[in-house]
A and B are shown apart, each in its own frame.
Chain A
């Protein structure tokens, strides 16, 4: 009598547990069909004729991007503009949270239900192309020579197997955010941000404010390894110190090829370890600490402009290019629009039209004004009205020095970096050893990836 209900409850609980732990995998089932489907698609995309849209046909195409309110809003506006110019094309926008993006593509595209134009992070492109999910952009509509003449050089990361698979509307670079009020308070000239590695250290020391118990009141530097520091290291500091990220074929990490790599790594860690001008977890993270006036200087992306404008419109801050050392360099990144391999016929023609529209000069101008992402085309970006803009100017000035590093696995590479930093800070592991371990572990990710190719 006593035993049964308990057993029953336990069994029910167990079943429920199983259901919970396994439910994540339910999404994969349709993938099975991918095998045959993709091979078929891969073969008939290589010879794609320039698509012609039947002027009488009514076409509906679907556009996918991740959920970012400002972008969703602007795309809706742009769709209205586009549909006025192309009355026979209807564009439907669908949004997914960033985390679900890849799952949705992997399940819906093979089932023939995916988008006709899709917005992807540049770091994902190699995986997407290798898996056969994308078709190269038709050469007749998007000639490679023209792209290379018009777009900034790092857009070439979207060129795979000799062809372009995606094009961005807007791009982002890392820059230096600095709080002008805190500069004045520390006796620094708010119109003279630090321009070199050395100056950055001196400035952040002066800007750091501790209370009588030695706790941070203001960090001189918003130091958060889990945010942008990893990118700053790979595309900024490494090159500035005279090192390189990877070999040309992207197979080998070159961080320790010269002493410059270690110098860059040490420079970054020393803000927390030696100079003690910033620490992780202060006001939860660097962006929040900066917004609330508790971090005086922060390395962050141009995408932060719009959220600062929205959250703390009165923050008195300035933007400067990243401080340089032996060279100038910054991280560039972008979301790009691509066409899945199963889009054909009228839909392909309409998708091409929409993609042309999205990368056009007019749209790029609206994009920078509403979203704050920088125009991907030189001609648009390098207009006086943007170069001379107090906030956008420094980001744009850095575009020619922008680098977009290759990813195998964004999360894992970032996690390894954060761990290496934690080893030094929390376990007193020598910087040299943490650095070597980091390279070994990251290189293993690369080796595993290329071994499967």
Chain B
């Protein structure tokens, strides 16, 4: 920014350098408060800061303040329609930890992360490795794999729901093969894994792209050196690819973890959290508490808990996974 200003001719005799403090020009140039006229440079400053400030204000008003405010809400009994919002201390948190449905949603969210994150990383990496080896039709495959990622989540969820419904395509295939039809989304023990499958399928494209970029950045040199030393393909993958891909893996794990911790749209559209709350996630619990039961206090308390979990999780991942790589 400094450079831009310095190289710009100013109205006062074409001088290009801002003069030091105390000079007459400085007073003319600076945007002064209280009706003093602004010079061209002053206007420029005003414009630049204005451009920078407006989004910041917007961000603060629309994002930051509500976040801080939700901490306040979490300590109140805040039924959306009731005129009184009394302060109740930790009562919302206490009631959450006695609520079977909430505890269940915590457990389910853990399953989403524990199963979903490795699944997503492995699938994305596998596709990336395969794509890296082909040259013909590479762009085509990359595009095809990326399409699910930019498709509406709601639409994809419903397509999965239709495929997996009792008389859907999946059961049709099983029956054709002479196998027993499955309850899929209507089984408390199966449904969460089908939702995770849908989530993985949809995000493969994103992970693939990130990994492809990471793989491109690994110099061929290392592979050649490893080959000369007699390393096989697994050895090369294990001792060259994986360590050098570590920063990318870390990024992918963090992004995927946050995604799975926030499982919502697929759950809402595929099962609504059922059967018997077996797929209910924290975010769906928050949504139902806030916008179906209108208990904003409890919902905010659950939001705060989710915030703490995500924060702890991310810090932990940075500590554990982000090791220095020796070249």
The number of chain A residues with a CB under 8 A from chain B is 59
In the complex, whether A39 has a CB less than 8 A from a CB of chain B is yes
Q: Tell me the chain A residues, 26-77 only, with Cβ under 8 Å from chain B.
A: 26, 28-29, 31-32, 34-35, 37-39
From residue A151, how far is it (CB to closest CB) to chain B in Å? 26
User: Cα distance A60–B286 when bound, in Å?
Assistant: 38
With A35-B83, A281-B165 already in contact, the answer to whether A28 and B296 are too (CB < 8 A) is yes
Inside 8 A of B171's CB, which chain A residues have their CB? 215
Instruction: Return the CB mask of B181-197 against A: 1 if under 8 Å, else 0.
Output: 10001111000000000
Does A279 contact B80, Cβ atoms closer than 8 Å? no
With A26-B62, A411-B292 already in contact, the answer to whether A132 and B262 are too (CB < 8 A) is no
In the complex, whether B276 has a CB less than 8 A from a CB of chain A is yes
From residue A219, how far is it (CB to closest CB) to chain B in Å? 10
Query: Whose C-beta in chain B lies nearest to the C-beta of A26?
Result: B66
With A10-B251, A10-B318, A31-B80 already in contact, the answer to whether A19 and B63 are too (CB < 8 A) is yes
A contact face: mostly helix, strand, loop, or mixed: helix
Does B307 contact A419, Cβ atoms closer than 8 Å? no
User: Cα distance A127–B78 when bound, in Å?
Assistant: 13
Does B276 contact A426, Cβ atoms closer than 8 Å? yes
Q: Tell me the chain A residues, 1-26 only, with Cβ under 8 Å from chain B.
A: 2-3, 5-7, 9-10, 13-14, 17-26
User: Cα distance A39–B83 when bound, in Å?
Assistant: 9
From residue A188, how far is it (CB to closest CB) to chain B in Å? 23
In the complex, whether B94 has a CB less than 8 A from a CB of chain A is no
- Our pick among B258, B276, B290 for the contact of A24 (Cβ within 8 Å) is B290
User: Cα distance A2–B318 when bound, in Å?
Assistant: 12
With A6-B247, A26-B62, A427-B276 already in contact, the answer to whether A105 and B81 are too (CB < 8 A) is yes
Instruction: Return the CB mask of A406-425 against B: 1 if under 8 Å, else 0.
Output: 00011110000011001100
In the complex, whether B250 has a CB less than 8 A from a CB of chain A is yes
Does B300 contact A25, Cβ atoms closer than 8 Å? yes
Does B186 contact A280, Cβ atoms closer than 8 Å? yes
In the complex, whether A99 has a CB less than 8 A from a CB of chain B is yes
Does A21 contact B262, Cβ atoms closer than 8 Å? yes
Inside 8 A of A103's CB, which chain B residues have their CB? 80, 291
Does B70 contact A13, Cβ atoms closer than 8 Å? no
Inside 8 A of A161's CB, which chain B residues have their CB? none
In the complex, whether B324 has a CB less than 8 A from a CB of chain A is yes
In the complex, whether A82 has a CB less than 8 A from a CB of chain B is no
In the complex, whether A283 has a CB less than 8 A from a CB of chain B is yes
Inside 8 A of B65's CB, which chain A residues have their CB? 26
Inside 8 A of B291's CB, which chain A residues have their CB? 24, 99, 102-103
In the complex, whether A310 has a CB less than 8 A from a CB of chain B is no
Q: Tell me the chain A residues, 163-201 only, with Cβ under 8 Å from chain B.
A: none
Inside 8 A of B325's CB, which chain A residues have their CB? 2
Does B307 contact A18, Cβ atoms closer than 8 Å? yes
User: Cα distance A284–B324 when bound, in Å?
Assistant: 51
Does B62 contact A279, Cβ atoms closer than 8 Å? no
Does A2 contact B80, Cβ atoms closer than 8 Å? no
Inside 8 A of B132's CB, which chain A residues have their CB? none
Does A17 contact B167, Cβ atoms closer than 8 Å? no
Query: Whose C-beta in chain A lies nearest to the C-beta of B71?
Result: A22
- Our pick among A14, A102, A282, A409 for the contact of B258 (Cβ within 8 Å) is A14
From residue B323, how far is it (CB to closest CB) to chain A in Å? 10
Does A17 contact B258, Cβ atoms closer than 8 Å? yes
User: Cα distance A409–B288 when bound, in Å?
Assistant: 11
Interface residues of B (CB under 8 A from A): 62-63, 65-67, 69-70, 73, 78-85, 161-162, 165-167, 171, 175, 181, 185-188, 247, 250-251, 254-255, 258, 261-262, 272, 274-277, 283, 286-288, 290-294, 296, 299-300, 303, 306-307, 310-311, 314, 317-318, 322, 324-325
Question: What are 8 residue pairs bridging A and B, where the CB atoms are less than 8 Å apart in the complex?
Answer: A25-B70, A25-B300, A25-B303, A283-B165, A283-B167, A284-B162, A422-B276, A426-B276
4 cross-chain pairs, A with B, having the tightest CB-CB distances, nearest first: A26-B66, A411-B292, A22-B67, A131-B81
14 more A-B contacts (CB under 8 A) besides A216-B166, A226-B272? Answer: A10-B314, A13-B254, A13-B258, A21-B283, A21-B307, A25-B290, A26-B69, A39-B83, A102-B81, A282-B166, A284-B162, A411-B288, A423-B276, A426-B186
